[in-house]
Amino acid sequence: MTWIWVLIPLAAIAVGAFQEWLKFQEKTARLGNSTRELGQTTTSLRESISSLESERDALVRRVQNLEAIVTSQVWDDVHDRPAEGFLGSRLEAESPPKQDDAEIIDRIARRLDRS
């Protein structure tokens, strides 16, 4: 019967260890939920970044196409401006005589044949 006194401290230690284990499990469950939420947020942010990058690339290509159109010699011919750039305002100069479409197309074709 003297051995029963040994079991009382061992039982107290076992109960204390079990309580600590339960606290640890609760903390792990809370952290697990927040970790899953963080993972979902990260995944959605990566998808958003990917879609924004593809949209940005499309816009860059579009701007490059527009720059190519505006800086081409054909654009200058159609708008009756010199190829070096627009010098002065058209309102200050005399308005050029009206040309029909055939003359404009002929002039553009000659310019394209030279290049």
Q: How far apart are CA 32 and CA 17, in angstroms?
A: 22
Report for 5-14, 55-64, 81-90: range of highest mean pLDDT? 55-64
Torsion of CA 72, 79, 81, 89, to 10 degrees: -130
HSE value, Cβ hemisphere, 13 Å, CA-based, for 79 = 15
Q: What pLDDT is stored for residue 32 in this prediction?
A: 76
DSSP-derived secondary structure for 31-95: HHHHHHHHHHHHHHHHHHHHHHHHHHHHHHHHHHHHHHHHTSHHHHHHTT--TT---S-TTTSPP
Q: What percent of the chain has pLDDT over 90?
A: 30
CB 104 within 8 A of CB 77: yes
CB 80 within 8 A of CB 96: yes
Predicted confidence (pLDDT) at residue 97 exceeds the cutoff of 70? no
pTM flag (> 0.85): no
